[in-house]
């Protein structure tokens, strides 16, 4: 896992924190050093998390408990903000945005990458994790590089940021014109001049499609790919994009600044690094 630490990284991430300190309901701008107990009065924080990504957010059906880096981050963040309990709510890439917008969860700690398009609708904390989006193939397919993907079917997860970034990257590399020749209504099945792009509802479905040959390559974040990588699969020497995960809250909400302060404090005092090492 690639660690996000304080210092220079914190300075870079200040652009994400363009939030007013005069938001209604806040007692003031809490510094990273005194971010404990700045909100909530012992209430329950509802956190949207993944339940199917080992190492980040995983629900053990036998115990009914969630485990992973993002679970630990959410618990520590809530404690620093003064919440008395955390209620974890399972979300998926295709529904997490709506669940946050509709108020079904208070925030997302769910492998949700910070992107300009998303910042129009949500506030993000400083990044707590950085990861590369990759391309995974079956060894038996004898695909050893991007050029070998010509005419192939590439799969991504519906609702993730990987699909648009993949098209941008392949266009920049001169692999495709980037113009779609045909697409279905929801753009989950798009034909480009040099490849076919499909989006699927879950990573399990994506992995199964790769195994059965329904797709020739699976594109996803490297940390998620670890769950599905085995001796019969390889990762191409090609990075689609670097994703930075942050905690998302509703735009200009009273929760945004305390969340950012708590995460920044965890970056500055080494807590994020310690938790990352724990789950690496």
Q: Residue 187 is part of a domain; what is its CATH number?
A: 3.40.190.10
pTM, two decimals, is: 0.78
Specify whether the CB–CB gap between 263 and 112 falls below 8 A: no
Q: For residue 249, give the DSSP letter.
A: E
Asked if residue 14 and residue 141 are part of one domain, the reply reads no
Asked if residue 138 and residue 75 are part of one domain, the reply reads no
Which residues does 84 contact at the CB level (< 8 Å), separation at least 6? 40, 42, 43, 44
Specify whether the CB–CB gap between 36 and 259 falls below 8 A: no
Asked if residue 175 and residue 212 are part of one domain, the reply reads yes
Q: How many domains does the chain have?
A: 2
Which residues does 117 contact at the CB level (< 8 Å), separation at least 6? none
Task: State pLDDT tens for residues 160-169.
Answer: 889 999 999 9
Asked if residue 238 and residue 159 are part of one domain, the reply reads yes
Task: State pLDDT tens for residues 10-37.
Answer: 433 333 333 333 333 333 333 333 444 4
Asked if residue 220 and residue 85 are part of one domain, the reply reads no
Point out the residues of the chain with pLDDT beneath 50: 7-38, 40
Tokens representing 25? Answer: 């309901």
Domain that holds residue 233: 132-242
Asked if residue 93 and residue 224 are part of one domain, the reply reads no
Residue whose tokens read 């998926």: 92
Asked if residue 262 and residue 144 are part of one domain, the reply reads no
Is residue 178 helix, strand or coil? coil
Asked if residue 251 and residue 123 are part of one domain, the reply reads yes
State the virtual CA torsion across 237, 240, 242, 244 in degrees, nearest 10.
-130
């Amino acid at each position: 896992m690639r660690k996000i630490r304080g210092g220079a990284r914190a300075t870079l991430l200040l652009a994400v924190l363009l939030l007013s300190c005069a938001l209604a309901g806040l007692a003031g701008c809490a510094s990273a050093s005194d971010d404990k107990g700045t909100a909530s009065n012992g209430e329950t924080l509802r956190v949207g998390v993944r339940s199917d990504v080992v190492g980040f957010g995983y629900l053990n059906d036998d115990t009914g408990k969630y485990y992973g880096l993002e679970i630990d981050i959410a618990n520590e963040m809530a404690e620093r903000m003064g919440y008395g309990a955390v209620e974890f709510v399972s979300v998926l890439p295709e529904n997490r945005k709506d669940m946050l917008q509709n108020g079904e969860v208070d925030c997302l700690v769910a492998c949700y990458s910070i992107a300009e398009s998303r910042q129009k609708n949500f506030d993000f904390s400083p990044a707590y994790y950085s990861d590369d989006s990759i391309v995974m193939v079956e060894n038996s397919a004898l695909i050893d590089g991007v050029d070998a993907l010509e005419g192939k079917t590439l799969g991504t997860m519906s609702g993730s940021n990987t699909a648009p970034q993949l098209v941008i990257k392949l266009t920049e590399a001169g692999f495709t014109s980037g113009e779609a020749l045909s697409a279905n209504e929801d753009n989950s099945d798009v034909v480009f001049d040099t490849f076919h792009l499909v989006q699927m509802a879950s990573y399990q479905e994506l992995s199964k499609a790769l195994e059965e040959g329904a797709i020739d390559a699976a594109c996803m974040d490297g940390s998620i790919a670890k769950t599905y990588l085995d001796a019969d699969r390889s990762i191409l020497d090609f990075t689609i994009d670097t994703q930075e995960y942050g905690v998302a809250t509703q735009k200009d909400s009273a929760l945004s600044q305390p969340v950012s302060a708590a995460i920044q404090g965890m970056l500055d005092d080494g807590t994020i690094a310690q938790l990352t090492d724990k789950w690496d």
